[in-house]
Amino acid sequence: MNHPRPEDDTTLRNIRRLIWLYFWLLLFEGALRKWVLPQLSNPLLIVRDPVVLAIYLLAIRARVFPRNGWVISLGIIAVVSTLVSVLVMILNWGLPPKSVAFITGYGFRSNFLHLPLIYVIARVLRMEDVKRFGWWTLVLSMPMTLLLVGQFQASPDSILNRTAGGEGEMMTAALGKVRTAGTFSFVLGVVSFYSLLAAYLVWATLRGDIYKNWLLAAAGAALAIGIVVSGSRSVVGAVAVVIASLILVVFVRPAAINRFGQTLIVVLILGLIVSQTPIFKEGFNVLSTRFNEVAEATETSIGAGLVERVFSTFAESGYVFAKAPFLGYGLGIGTNASAKFLTGRSMFLLSEGEWSRIFLESGPLIGLAFVLWRVALVFRVGLQCVASVKLGNLLPLLIFSSSFTALLNGQFGQPTVLGFVVFATGLALAARKEDEASSGQTPEATSGGKAAPARRVARRSEFASRLHGPPITPARQDHANGAVDR
């Protein structure tokens, strides 16, 4: 494995700065598209792509660009998928070269371009960077929630609820309220942000020595209010998944949550206070109405409806897999951006489900290869995060619990979803560097490389220890020539 050279420290710092830029653009590119530069809404869809390319160039220069099996196999799938797509669009559909270039290019950036950034983030960020990202997430939760409250109370045609490019209106939740989007172009950004916020909040609360108590209390209140005014079942589900990951911690390393009882009392008290505020009551009423309306429409219970919603996309993808053309319809043609390019309207030309889109775009063979790559990566990173829990480090698992469902079958054609998947998964792997203090492993060992075997110290039997005294430790051997040691 290549190691960064000392003379590349400046390059590594520049990579970290670009990762911060990626983070800020991820949070505010929707605001740019809605309020600042709505006339440039479409070009701003790919505003983070130049940042990603710059990171890759600097990473290659500093010899930290990932060259593992994951990135190599992804590159092979990407090249084959792109070449086949070009042939299909030209020979089967007769599309002009300009259309082929746009559609295939956008499909390539949606499926493949950003994913290697996961491992760049993991290698370049330090634990102090991971904590700083958490601090900013907690701090930003307060103005983000205030914006959500403003959007919740405003009318659907208010400037606060403007959509990207000023086209159409936000989707409604219930009782005339919109599904608030915050600074993002769609509610999916709120889902990703608040689940990441929940991960950092749970970790910091259990640790108790990372951030100030006032910040944790304020962020906790912001999380609770943000959930109810979002009007989205997906926000509730995403945060619930993060909290549910503690169940795994209980089985793997119960001692890691020894503050859980005390923390639970504090959370209950804070929750009781927040639940008495007028905005929480109104938001909870809208959200519960939304759940009940969906349950009545589907003639199922609320819980069954959530489960059915999750598994219906997998069932649909199985049906599509058997019906998809062998070479597919073309990479990228199922994304909203390509639909708008071809028809002038943002829609799903193929399928709203992610796996179905992949099978229809790239065919059952190439599409399955990419789907299996994503499934395997989820299991690989998940196992690494569980290994961190065994060493008492909960943060990787908590962060990954905020992104693994989207990594598995989230809509990569939606730039915000893709951005949070890449960023959060990279943060989860970078957070494993705290394992080193507990295990004595090298960075390579915690990121999947091979660690040098530890030197074994000869052990004596209990009888020999009584006869000759305690065994000589390596530390004593270093100065065994002195008179004291004799």
Q: How far apart are CA 267 and CA 346, in angstroms?
A: 42
Q: How far apart are CA 91 and CA 62, in angstroms?
A: 42
Averaged pLDDT for residues 90-106: 91
- Which candidate, 135, 144, 289, places its Cα nearest to that of 216? 135
| Tens-place pLDDT, residues 235-264 | 999 999 999 999 999 888 888 777 666 677
For the record, the structure tokens of 16 come out as: 């970290």
Torsion (CA) 403, 406, 412, 415 in degrees, nearest 10: -50
Percentage helix, strand, coil, to 5, in the chain?
75, 0, 25
Cβ–Cβ < 8 Å for 133, 189: no
- Mean pLDDT, the chain, rounded, equals 86
Q: How far apart are CA 380 and CA 374, in angstroms?
A: 10
pLDDT of residue 188 exceeding 90: yes
Q: How far apart are CA 186 and CA 321, in angstroms?
A: 29
For the record, the structure tokens of 450 come out as: 């091979």
Cβ–Cβ < 8 Å for 259, 206: yes
pLDDT for position 453: 40
| 482 within some domain | no
Where does the pLDDT of residue 477 fall: very low under 50, low under 70, confident under 90, or very high at 90 and above? very low
pLDDT for position 3: 54
pLDDT for position 267: 79
Domain that holds residue 376: 6-446
| 454 within some domain | no
Kindly give the residue spans of alpha helices, DSSP state H, lying in 46-126.
Answer: 49-61, 69-87, 97-108, 117-124
Three-point CA angle 395, 399, 400, nearest 5°: 115
pLDDT of residue 451 exceeding 90: no
| 461 within some domain | no
Q: Is 178 helix (H, G, I), strand (E, B) or coil?
A: strand
Where does the pLDDT of residue 83 fall: very low under 50, low under 70, confident under 90, or very high at 90 and above? very high
CA 7 to centroid of chain Cα atoms: 32
Averaged pLDDT for residues 193-212: 94
Where does the pLDDT of residue 39 fall: very low under 50, low under 70, confident under 90, or very high at 90 and above? very high
| Tens-place pLDDT, residues 119-129 | 999 999 999 99
What total of structural domains would you count in the chain? 1
In the chain, % of residues over pLDDT 70: 84
| Tens-place pLDDT, residues 2-20 | 554 555 689 999 999 999 9
| 477 within some domain | no
Q: Which of 74-83, 328-337, 400-409 has the lowest mean pLDDT?
A: 328-337
| 380 within some domain | yes
Greatest extent of the chain over all pairs of C-alpha atoms, in Å: 90
Kindly give the residue spans of alpha helices, DSSP state H, lying in 334-442.
Answer: 336-343, 354-390, 395-401, 404-409, 415-430, 435-439
- Which candidate, 447, 388, 452, places its Cα nearest to that of 71? 447
Overall pTM surpassing 0.75 (yes/no): yes
Where does the pLDDT of residue 460 fall: very low under 50, low under 70, confident under 90, or very high at 90 and above? very low
CA distances from 140 to 135, 136, 215, 246 (A): 9, 6, 11, 24
Dihedral sign for Cα atoms in the order 347, 310, 425, 108:
negative
pLDDT of residue 165 exceeding 80: no
Cβ–Cβ < 8 Å for 70, 377: yes
Averaged pLDDT for residues 412-425: 96
| 455 within some domain | no
Q: What are phi and psi of 178, to 5 degrees?
A: -90, 165
Length of the chain: 486
How many alpha carbons fall within 13 Å on the CB side of residue 189? 24
For the record, the structure tokens of 31 come out as: 């605001």
| 148 within some domain | yes
| 299 within some domain | yes
pLDDT for position 248: 92
More confident residue, 250 or 420: 420
